[in-house]
Amino acid sequence: MPEIGGDSVIYFNPFNINDCVDSIQKVLNMDLNTKNLLIKKGFINLERFDLKDSLNKTLNLLEGIS
């Protein structure tokens, strides 16, 4: 889901076993600099999400249903 992972993940087609295997091998064989870059991007990406905000939005949505 690119809208969540952004550019901090390796994407693959979950319905294509070869694509899944290729992506896992890509991560396992990735050089340390690239791994560290993805980790850094992951932490930067994580800042877009706030647990309290998500909980409040979920609560408001559920209250609107009842």
pLDDT along the chain (66 residues), means of 10: 89 96 95 95 91 91 87
Query: Rounded to 5 degrees, what angle do the CA atoms 39, 42, 48 make?
Result: 160
pLDDT at 3: 86
Amino acid at 64: G
Contact status, residue 9 vs residue 34, Cβ threshold 8 Å: no
Contact status, residue 1 vs residue 14, Cβ threshold 8 Å: no
Domain count, the chain: 1
Q: Which two tokens stand for residue 65?
A: 């249903």
Q: Structural domain of residue 27, as residue ranges? A: 2-65
- Cβ neighbours of residue 30 closer than 8 Å, sequence gap 6 or more: 38
Q: What is the pTM of this model?
A: 0.66
* Residue 58 to residue 14: CA distance in whole angstroms: 27
